[in-house]
Structure 1
């Protein structure tokens, strides 16, 4: 009998890209990875026997997936549908389980703050919605619609009546615009704030360095060595940080930070220096703006909206400090904390690049529109809810 001729494989650019991603992805299932490798080898013109040797598969297995791809393309590499064991639960029971997961436990009379899969499984059985059901089965049902009742997110409605105007002013400054006029080369934008209560926790046993198959190990018990505040000013467009530590926050420590920046070049001779701050007590309101202007006439204080310190770019720098300097907290005393922060500041300034800030005024309008819809829906739900 004549030998079977291998199916020729030809790939488009998009098919080749998807197959490579599948064949070499770290999270790709093993079966999908092997099938993608077979097709890629075949597309290079390799014989079936060679592919079998290089992948460790049987000749018939290589022929099967090579032929299936030649006939059906990428969708043919997926497993065929199988009948499997008859379903124990009806679609109605599955829908009722999902509906229960989408209700707050308190509304159903359960003394819980949120559902977990074991709690849902027990509740479904107790109500007679289903028979005995495992938590893994409930988890599989919820995964179909990406329902995760054990998670929660918080939000806050806008309280600042001038939210948009204040936010737009900050976003325009990030784009080097103020009152519709582009900033000059001798005008600077500085983002400033305080990171409070950085503690010195002296661990009762030495921290163990990481090793083979072992993470760094930090003793849980510690002695308290006090706490300090880290005040920082971040030049938004030049990625330069100025900071110092204080025993506590307040007007005087903040003005000391301003003096630290405004008395050195190029800020001392700048036309204007815009200081973006939140509404903390150290720099809140018109009094703070007047105090800053009296001390340094070229300094302009710009406040973020209330509850919108996420618009302040120095918070990004503080998150870097938290990850790379403070956590895990293992300091013998506050002097070590100060030294570490100062040394990291020098290290950061040596290589820092400006943050790639992508949130624009268009994104702001979209955000406000979504919040307005949520606010309207919340008010309608509250008015329709019967009085207790």
Structure 2
């Protein structure tokens, strides 16, 4: 049995809070408006993998995204799947993915994980990037929170909602049908 995951990190997610309360709609403006001033409550990093077979997202939200946190995410994935699964993870070639700490953990589970690295400067090929883009546009844009804990909870709630009705990504475009008559 095999699990196939697309993994990446989204660092520097800002926990931005309001200094002044939002202005409620009035007769002149039919929308909620916000003062441009804000306070910065710090940042968080989201490490996530999307199971390309089930559509489930496996998230970890931490203060940073070093080798220590990456190994913590690997341990989370290890517990998520039954012991007889081989776990293949598609990811970029970030140094934490091959660090001493990561290699030490992988050597403790020698048959369990298989890493597939995207080409240098081509991490955009990784499917998880589409999820990060959707999350940034639909949930993170314009969000205001009072703390990093509130931001973490709201991100995890969003991911849980996605996981309640997962979408499995399927390629539908055939190269010979591309506009402009591109042929290989």
- What is the rounded CA distance, in whole Å, between the counterparts of 1:292 and 1:304 in structure 2? 22
Q: Which runs of 5+ in 1 are unaligned?
A: 1-185, 364-368, 371-388
2:114 is aligned to 300
1:187 is aligned to 2
SS in 2 for 1:207: coil
1:169 is aligned to none
What are the equivalent positions in structure 2 for 1:1-388 lying under 5 Å apart? 186-208=1-23, 214-266=30-82, 268-270=83-85, 272-284=86-98, 290-291=103-104, 293-296=106-109, 297-358=111-172, 362=175
Cα displacement (A) at 1:265: 3.0
1:94-137 per-position Cα deviation (integer Å, ceiling 9, x unaligned): xxxxxxxxxxxxxxxxxxxxxxxxxxxxxxxxxxxxxxxxxxxx
1:307-332 per-position Cα deviation (integer Å, ceiling 9, x unaligned): 11111111111112112221103111
Instruction: Tell me: CA distance 1:207–1:356, structure 2 relative to 1, closer, same or farther (3 Å).
Output: farther
Q: Contact conserved, 1:228 with 1:247, CA < 8 A, in 2?
A: yes
Q: Contact conserved, 2:7 with 2:49, CA < 8 A, in 1?
A: yes
Higher helix share: 1
- What is the rounded CA distance, in whole Å, between the counterparts of 1:280 and 1:218 in structure 2? 38
Instruction: Tell me: CA distance 1:331–1:300, structure 2 relative to 1, closer, same or farther (3 Å).
Output: same
Q: What count of residue pairs does the alignment treat as equivalent?
A: 176
- What is the rounded CA distance, in whole Å, between the counterparts of 2:102 and 2:126 in structure 1? 17
SS in 2 for 1:239: coil
- What is the rounded CA distance, in whole Å, between the counterparts of 2:117 and 2:75 in structure 1? 19
Give RMSD over aligned pairs.
2.7
SS in 1 for 2:133: helix
Following TM superposition, the consecutive aligned residue runs of length 4 or more in structure 1 with deviations greater than 4 angstroms are: 208-213, 287-292
Q: Contact conserved, 2:47 with 2:60, CA < 8 A, in 1?
A: yes
Q: Contact conserved, 2:67 with 2:102, CA < 8 A, in 1?
A: no
Cα displacement (A) at 1:291: 4.5
SS in 2 for 1:220: coil
Question: For the pair shown, which has the larger CA radius of gyration, 1 or 2?
Answer: 1
Q: Contact conserved, 1:289 with 1:300, CA < 8 A, in 2?
A: no
Higher strand share: 2
Instruction: Tell me: CA distance 1:288–1:312, structure 2 relative to 1, closer, same or farther (3 Å).
Output: farther
Instruction: Tell me: CA distance 1:195–1:359, structure 2 relative to 1, closer, same or farther (3 Å).
Output: farther
TM-score by length of structure 2 reads: 0.83
- What is the rounded CA distance, in whole Å, between the counterparts of 2:131 and 2:94 in structure 1? 18
Cα displacement (A) at 1:359: 6.2
Cα displacement (A) at 1:350: 0.3
Instruction: Tell me: CA distance 1:209–1:351, structure 2 relative to 1, closer, same or farther (3 Å).
Output: farther
Q: Contact conserved, 1:292 with 1:301, CA < 8 A, in 2?
A: no
Instruction: Tell me: CA distance 1:219–1:358, structure 2 relative to 1, closer, same or farther (3 Å).
Output: farther
Instruction: Tell me: CA distance 1:218–1:280, structure 2 relative to 1, closer, same or farther (3 Å).
Output: farther
Q: Contact conserved, 2:51 with 2:57, CA < 8 A, in 1?
A: yes
TM-score by length of structure 1 reads: 0.42
Q: Which runs of 5+ in 2 are unaligned?
A: 177-181
Instruction: Tell me: CA distance 1:294–1:284, structure 2 relative to 1, closer, same or farther (3 Å).
Output: closer
